[in-house]
Chain A
Amino acid sequence: MNAHTATSEPLLEVTDLKKYFPIRKGLLTRTVGQVHAVDGVSFSIADGETLGVVGESGCGKSTLGRTILRLMRPTSGTVKLRGIDITDLSDTALRPYRREMQIVFQDPYSSLNPRMTAGRIVGEPLIIHNVGSTGDREARVASLFERVGLPADSMAKYPHQFSGGQRQRIGIAKALALNPSLIICDEPVSALDVSIQAQVVNLLIDLQQEFGLSYLFIAHDLAVVKHISHRVAVMYLGRIVELTDKKSLFTQPLHPYSEALLSAIPVPNPKANREGRVILTGDVPSPINPPSGCHFHTRCPYATDRCRTDIPALREVKPGHLVSCHLHDEGMRLPLARPKGEPL
């Protein structure tokens, strides 16, 4: 995997993106509160790069993907595709940019229309965007089927006649139909069996190399994210808490949450050293009333008074390694040694 240098402008640039969902109650549907699903997220993705986004349920990672695609309108912030601000474009004006960005959903069972044949599903984006003649489209669909490893004679079949892994291949073929630059993969393998996951991960990597695709790869499985990503963003309650290349993250996490998340992964090796594992207490708090200051302070073993009041900014503490934690205010502090004798 090659490193990506910021020579030209990034393919995708997201700045301070926010998406709040109002909570309405009562007869007059008063807004009584807001879910802070995405709460000020900034990052960029270069051509041919995979940015992994990890986090637990409710951290806003799926909302982030959907807001970037404008499947929902952001509350504030900007999304730029090749330098062009697409945040406030009308649906018509957005159309050409939509071709550039596609999505692969988690659940290959509910994301495919059961009444359409697989060939029709894959060809639909071509029809919507008015690409080529009927003959061209058929040829394109056939080549897509071949490329993702589906038998050509399966174009006339319906989704229920495919297995989970094959359905995900249909979803990928559909995402590829318009030759996009960016594919947002929202947990694309987590609904699949272990033995099938590897097939789909390999396919995604091959396609990236062949077509120079960029991926925003959203997942909760850190092992898969580590395998496929170049850089990784760790999200907690709507914010990115750490963003760096995967090697730095997995060898030297600088945010206490990343440290705990990495240490919590069940390691598929019975002889792995499990001493010094960080096991957090409690669950992720609700994004409706997220904790003040640093969202993580309620579960953080290193939290100080300041963490309860001040929101830490996402800052570069060493080249290419961004983290939002007061621990690193006076430069990088390592290791994240917890106070002695305090069990977690």
Chain B
Amino acid sequence: MSEPRADDTPLLEVHDLHVEFRVSKRVVQAVNGVNFRVSKGETLAILGESGSGKSVTFETVLGILESPPGFITGGSIRFRGQDLFALPERERRALCGRHIGMIFQDPLSALNPVFTVGQQLSEMFRVHLGLGRQEAEKRAIAMLDRVGIPGAQERINDYPHQFSGGMRQRLVIAMALAAGPELVVADEPTTALDVTVEAQILKLLKDLQRDEGIGLVLITHSMGVVAETADRVAVMYGGKVVETAEVNAIFESPAHPYTRGLLASIPNAEETTDRLVPIPGQPPDLAHIPSGCAFHPRCPFAQDICTHEIPKLQWFDDGKRGSACHFYETLMESV
């Protein structure tokens, strides 16, 4: 579809993205300058709590943001170097449908209850690859088999409700991968699943990603999922990326007080201390984001400057890491 590109062009590059929601007279800044990039064969985890703007970022990247009330007010998203916002809607849809796969949190609501598994999966091959009915069905069976659904030949005549939760998520993954995308974006793909099934699905995603060499963006709130799957991490808070780094660095020497607080607050299944160290206060209400650094009311290191000056994402370690904290250097020294 396009020219071969230089290897250093990232697959997906989100630059200074701003999204707001306008509801009657209120304006809610959901995404407030988000930057990240994903390369081929890489897993980027976007880590954030509710209201961090991670799901809105996901919807914007995939072009499924409901508008109104959502409006993109700034920034750019480039896929293989091509500015998605500059493309006409039709072309954008064709490009995204063919090259970007999406996986939702709740597989049941991502599937159509009145069509069989086979119909829904074959449709991907017919629409995006232009295959005929029989060929599409053959590919659908192969794909179901690929994602580990036993008896694929028979199961394609089932309806989604006849599948268990884990199998539905496998089906959704099969649909996301059907057109042979280069990038897959998954929003909390295992949150609705049980622990033993979660482990299966994470392994499947990792295996598929490695075998197909796709870029994977995994949106999650779970430190465990991040540690299990990610190569790099972008931590979001209050509609911004506050820290980004390679996964080991995030866990070993977090460069933002929020990341640090998150790590301290999770009970570690490997060792127990009597008290957890929570982050005080509440995550910000996006309609009333605190001035300056959005994290300052909860931050143990906050100084005067944090209350009025918004910290920029500053790059260090040869541009491999970034932190949006005025005092990241001091913080790093005290690790």
Contact surface of A with B, Cβ cutoff 8 Å:
1, 56-57, 163-166, 193-199, 201-202, 205, 220, 222-224, 226-227, 250, 260-272, 274, 277, 279-284
Known: A226-B272, A264-B195, A284-B196. 5 other contacts (CB 8 A): A198-B278, A205-B275, A262-B269, A268-B266, A269-B251
Contacts A166-B282, A193-B50, A261-B195 given: A281-B270 contact, CB under 8 Å? no
Cα distance A283–B200 in the bound complex, in angstroms: 10
Q: Which listed residue, B221, B226, B263, B267, touches A227 by the CB 8 Å rule?
A: B267
Are A270 and B194 in contact (CB-based, < 8 A)?
A: no
Number of contacting residues on B, CB 8 A?
Answer: 46
Say whether B222 faces chain A, with CB atoms less than 8 Å apart: yes
CB-based nearest B residue for A55? B194
**Which one of B55-63, B129-137, B163-171, B179-187 is at the interface?**
B163-171
The residues of B that contact A266 with a CB separation of less than 8 Å are: 198-199, 202, 222, 224-225, 227-228
Are A268 and B197 in contact (CB-based, < 8 A)?
A: no
Say whether B283 faces chain A, with CB atoms less than 8 Å apart: yes
Please give the distance in Å from B219's CB to the nearest CB on chain A. Answer: 14
* Chain B 116-153 near chain A by CB (<8 Å), digits 1 or 0: 00000000000000000000000000000000000000
Cα distance A165–B199 in the bound complex, in angstroms: 28
Contacts A280-B196, A280-B200 given: A198-B267 contact, CB under 8 Å? yes
Are A195 and B263 in contact (CB-based, < 8 A)?
A: no
CB-based nearest A residue for B298? A195
Are B267 and A220 in contact (CB-based, < 8 A)?
A: no
The residues of A that contact B276 with a CB separation of less than 8 Å are: 198, 201-202, 227
Please give the distance in Å from B191's CB to the nearest CB on chain A. Answer: 10
Nearest first, the 4 A-B pairs at minimum CB distance are A266-B224, A198-B278, A56-B194, A198-B276
Cα distance A56–B269 in the bound complex, in angstroms: 17
Contacts A194-B262, A196-B282, A267-B224 given: A202-B275 contact, CB under 8 Å? yes
Cα distance A4–B224 in the bound complex, in angstroms: 32
CB-based nearest B residue for A229? B272
Are A193 and B283 in contact (CB-based, < 8 A)?
A: yes
The residues of A that contact B196 with a CB separation of less than 8 Å are: 56, 260-261, 264, 279-280, 284
Q: Would you give 20 A-B contacts (Cβ < 8 Å), ordered by A? A: A163-B282, A197-B265, A198-B276, A198-B278, A199-B278, A202-B276, A205-B275, A220-B195, A222-B195, A250-B269, A262-B269, A264-B195, A264-B196, A265-B224, A267-B228, A268-B266, A272-B227, A279-B199, A280-B196, A283-B164
Please give the distance in Å from B179's CB to the nearest CB on chain A. Answer: 27
Cα distance A165–B278 in the bound complex, in angstroms: 12
Are B282 and A268 in contact (CB-based, < 8 A)?
A: no
Contacts A195-B261, A280-B200 given: A268-B274 contact, CB under 8 Å? no
User: Using a Cβ cutoff of 8 Å, how many contacts connect chains A and B?
Assistant: 136
Are A283 and B165 in contact (CB-based, < 8 A)?
A: yes
The residues of A that contact B106 with a CB separation of less than 8 Å are: none
Are A224 and B267 in contact (CB-based, < 8 A)?
A: yes
Contacts A163-B282, A227-B272 given: A201-B228 contact, CB under 8 Å? no
The residues of A that contact B222 with a CB separation of less than 8 Å are: 194, 266
Q: Which listed residue, B195, B247, B263, touches A56 by the CB 8 Å rule?
A: B195
CB-based nearest B residue for A56? B194
Cα distance A282–B165 in the bound complex, in angstroms: 10
Please give the distance in Å from B38's CB to the nearest CB on chain A. Answer: 18
Cα distance A227–B274 in the bound complex, in angstroms: 8
Q: Which listed residue, A198, A260, A270, touches B227 by the CB 8 Å rule?
A: A270
Max chain B C-beta neighbours (<10 A), residue from A166, A198, A270, A271: A270
Cα distance A159–B81 in the bound complex, in angstroms: 48
Say whether B110 faces chain A, with CB atoms less than 8 Å apart: no
The residues of B that contact A264 with a CB separation of less than 8 Å are: 195-196, 198-199
The residues of A that contact B251 with a CB separation of less than 8 Å are: 268-271
Contacts A266-B222, A279-B200 given: A195-B279 contact, CB under 8 Å? yes
Are B195 and A270 in contact (CB-based, < 8 A)?
A: no
Say whether B332 faces chain A, with CB atoms less than 8 Å apart: no
Cα distance A274–B269 in the bound complex, in angstroms: 14
Considering only residues 48-84 of chain B, those with a C-beta below 8 Å from chain A are 49-50
The residues of B that contact A224 with a CB separation of less than 8 Å are: 267
The residues of B that contact A277 with a CB separation of less than 8 Å are: 199
Contacts A266-B198, A279-B203 given: A222-B262 contact, CB under 8 Å? no
Say whether B305 faces chain A, with CB atoms less than 8 Å apart: no
Please give the distance in Å from A301's CB to the nearest CB on chain B. Answer: 12
Please give the distance in Å from A206's CB to the nearest CB on chain B. Answer: 9
Contacts A268-B227, A283-B167 given: A201-B194 contact, CB under 8 Å? no
CB-based nearest A residue for B279? A195
